[in-house]
Amino acid sequence: MRSDFPLFPEQASTVAPYVDALYLFLVGITGLVSLLIWIAVFYFAIKYRRRPENELAEEIEPPQMLEIAWTVIPAIIFVGIFVAGAWVYFHINRVPDDALDIYATGRQWMWKFQHPSGQREINTLHVPVNRPIRITMASEDVIHSLWFPVFRVKADVLPNRYRTMWFEATKTGRFHIFCAEYCGTQHSGMIGWVEVMEPTAYQRWLAGGAEGSLASQGEKLFQKYACHTCHTNEATGRGPILAGLYGKQIQLTNNSRVLADDNYLRESILNPQAKIAAGFQPIMPTFQGQVNEEELIKLLAYIRSMPAAAPVVAPPTASAGPAATQNKGTVQ
């Protein structure tokens, strides 16, 4: 048996202190109240134990005030707990604007990570310290859940849908990654390590052998799958111009509008018939089954990276819409 074992996880992210503070606050307050209850129970049980002289209990009229007090006071405490919990939750979900993008794909039973510069890795994730990281993720099969205990963050990874989570590591070192949602036989083997590095070390690590950035790999795929035959940079193309599309509001044929976020792009590629951009025919073929999750990520990286500048005649789709909401964390 090991003699050294942790009773508390390391704090290695900016949100961890908040979570721990909330946790300890809860331990304190509920511990206190619980303790009072146990003491009362034992004290009464002993003091008023049945003896010949108290065979018959004393009847006392319950004071109404007392009932109201122990209804209202816990209610106030509980609502306080809610507020604190919601505040921390908000913090956990609100992605900072300058976050570094990393992509994760879950599958039975491994984690695959892709860095914008093109590095791929499996079951290990290298990240720089003191830099907000946003992870965009999807699953190739069942639901998984990406958990970094030392960062106190976790999010379910869903098939066919992108979700994001973020953290900012505050300590260098090597920490656990777990899959927290049951996903089949090797669920407990779907684990890995996150390596938090100094920024310089991270840069060095990145420099080591990638096949070009994600966007440039995506550009190759764009050629390979012949997307460019329809999606040209001219308004006369058969498909909409994709440059500058990301983050815009898109007008659809059925009169509604959608935000062109990751999930929309994903759907447009895998299931183009679902939402048809106004002014176009539903001729785009599906790429379901041809493009896998990782390639999809590359394509998206490429589409996101397309400069918005070139064509002045914006596609009829991308007319209005607020300034790019690109970096605001969308609620997924």
Partner 1 sequence: MSERQGVEMQNAECKMQKEILHSASPDVAGPFLHFAFCICFSAAGAEMTAIEPTHEDHHAPHPFLQHHFEDLGQQHEASTLGMWMFLATEILFFGGVLCAYFVYRGMYHDAWKAGSHHQNWMIGTGNTAVLIGSSLTMALAVWAAQLGRRKLTVIMLTLTLILGSVFLGVKMYEYSEHIHEGLFPGKHFTFVEHNNPALTPGVQLYMTFYFALTGLHALHMVIGAGLLIWMIWRAWAGHFGPEYYGPVEVMGLYWHFVDIVWIFLFPLLYLV
Partner 2 sequence: MTPSTLHDVRFIEPEKTRNYLNEDYGVFSWLLTKDHKRIGILYLLSVTLLFFVGGFFAFMLRLELLTPEGDLLTSDTYNKFFTLHGIVMIFFFLIPAIPAALGNFILPLMLGAKDLAFPKINLLSWYIYMTGAIFGIYVIVTGGVDTGWTFYTPFSTQYSNTHVFATTLGAFITGFSSILTGLNFIVTIHRMRAPGLTWFRLPLFVWSMYATSLVMLLATPVLAITLFLLMLERTLGVGIFDPALGGDPVLYQHLFWFYSHPAVYIMILPAMAVISECVAAFTRKKIFGYKFVAFASLAIAFLGFLVWAHHMFVAGISVYSAMIFSFLTMLVAVPSAIKVFNWTATMYRASVSWQTPMLYVMGFIGLFTIGGVTGLFLGAMGVDVHVHDSYFVVAHFHYIMVGGTVMGYLAGIHYWWPKITGRMYPEWWARLSALLIFVGFNLTFFPQFLVGYVGMPRRYHAYAPEFQVLNVLSTAGATVLAAGYILPMFYLFWSLWYGRKAGSNPWGAVGLEWATSSPPPKENFHVTPVVTWDAYDYPAFLKAMRETQNV
Partner 3 sequence: MNDHHGHAPTHHVTPLPVYFAIFFALMILTGITVWISRVDLGVMNFPVAMAVAIVKATLVILFFMHLIHSTRLTWVVVLGSFLWLGVLFVLIFSDYLTRAWVMY
Q: Which is nearer to partner 3, 115 or 304 (CB)?
A: 304
Spatial distance between the Cα atoms of 90 and 5, rounded to a whole number of angstroms:
32
User: 3-state class of 195 per DSSP?
Assistant: strand
The answer to whether residues 237 and 231 touch, using CB atoms and an 8 Å cutoff, is: yes
Longest dimension (CA), the chain: 100
- The least CB distance from residue 31 to ligand HEA, in Å, is 9
Binding-residue total with ligand CUA (CB under 6 A): 9
Spatial distance between the Cα atoms of 244 and 304, rounded to a whole number of angstroms:
7
- The least CB distance from residue 278 to partner 1, in Å, is 13
**Closest by Cα among 245, 264, 263, 225 to 304:** 245
Spatial distance between the Cα atoms of 173 and 102, rounded to a whole number of angstroms:
19
- The region of 27-35, 147-155, 228-236, 279-287 touching ligand HEA under the rule CB under 6 A is 27-35
**Closest by Cα among 274, 275, 266 to 246:** 266
Cα 107 to chain center, whole Å? Answer: 16
Instruction: Give the footprint of partner 1 on residues 253-292 (CB under 8 A).
Output: 254, 271, 273-274, 282, 285-286, 288-289
User: 3-state class of 125 per DSSP?
Assistant: strand
Residue of the chain from 17, 124, 130, 182 that contacts partner 2 (CB under 8 A): 182
Tokens of 137: 């993720």
Residue of the chain from 26, 122, 226, 310 that contacts ligand HEC (CB under 6 A): 226
Q: Which is nearer to partner 3, 147 or 166 (CB)?
A: 166
Instruction: Give the footprint of partner 2 on residues 115-144 (CB under 8 A).
Output: 141-143
Residue 91's binding partner among partner 2, ligand HEA, partner 1, none (Cβ under 5 to 8 angstroms by kind) is partner 2
The answer to whether residues 183 and 142 touch, using CB atoms and an 8 Å cutoff, is: yes
Residues that bind partner 1 (CB under 8 A): 254, 271, 273-274, 282, 285-286, 288-289
Residues that bind ligand HEA (CB under 6 A): 29-30, 33, 37, 74, 77
Residues that bind ligand HEC (CB under 6 A): 225-227, 229-231, 238-240, 242, 245, 250, 265, 268-269, 272, 276-277, 280-284, 287, 299, 317
